[in-house]
Amino acid sequence: MSSNDISAGAGAPKADGRVERGNRTRRLVLRRTVDIASVEGLEALSVGRLATELGLSKSGVFALFGSKEELQLATVRAASRIFADEVLEPVDGIPSGVARLAHLCGSWLDYSQRRVFPGGCFFSAVMAEFDARQGPVHDALVQSLATWMAYVEGCAVDARAGGELRGDSDMAQLAFELVALMETANAHSLLTAETLPYDRARTGIISRLLATATDPSLVPQTI
């Protein structure tokens, strides 16, 4: 073994330690940015603000992202991971069918009502901010919306393929209506600080599924 090998081996733990510290700092920053953006929007994010609030150096925060746009994009990606953990993972064990679709909607409503993000649904908040803009952040949000809509529609298509939803039903239209009920509940609850909109959305979702199901007994009574 050469002296170079020894030097490399001695330096590796230090390098790994720096990487891990950097990863921890990045996670800390992004946990704060998703909360800020859900209330104030992605444009409210700044290196100076984050450094002050988290007790970090401006240069250290800037080195993690390099630009405000990359900070915004990283925030969208972080929010997507949280969304998957909070909304999608809870229904992973439910077999394909109308019950899975119903509980997916219920999971989304729970996520919004529990204020996983203080501003309700992160994506509802920032999509309104960027809907008329162009650029990478806008495109990332469009992709997030498309992925979510496709997931809801896919659950509906699976339920229809299993004979639990009527064969003549338009699954894209059904997905659109279900998501509209969820987003309306989120918006109304945020504005009024009331939980009734979530109850109304749950009632509407169950009613819509009952109207489309081949067997009403397949639709959960509560979600």
Q: How many CB atoms within 10 Å of residue 163?
A: 12
Rounded CA-CA distance 190/184 in Å is 10
Q: Does 194 fall in a domain?
A: yes
Phi and psi based region of residue 13 (left: phi greater than 0; alpha: psi -120 to 50; beta: remaining): alpha
Rounded CA-CA distance 218/223 in Å is 13
Q: Does 115 fall in a domain?
A: yes
Q: To which residue do tokens 């999608």 refer?
A: 88
Rounded CA-CA distance 89/74 in Å is 21
Residue type, 79: A
Quote the number of domains for the chain.
Answer: 1
Tell me which residue range forms the domain holding 132.
67-218
Q: Does 121 fall in a domain?
A: yes
User: Are 71 and 62 within 8 A, CB to CB?
Assistant: no
| pTM of the model as a whole | 0.89
pLDDT in tens, the chain (223 residues): 343 443 344 444 555 777 778 789 999 999 999 999 999 999 999 999 999 999 999 999 999 999 999 999 999 999 999 999 999 999 999 999 999 999 999 999 999 999 999 999 999 999 999 999 999 999 999 999 999 999 999 999 999 999 999 999 999 999 999 999 999 999 999 999 999 999 999 999 999 999 999 999 999 999 9
Q: Does 28 fall in a domain?
A: no
Question: What pLDDT was estimated at residue 18?
Answer: 73
Q: Does 142 fall in a domain?
A: yes
- The domain spanning residue 167 has which CATH number? 1.10.357.10
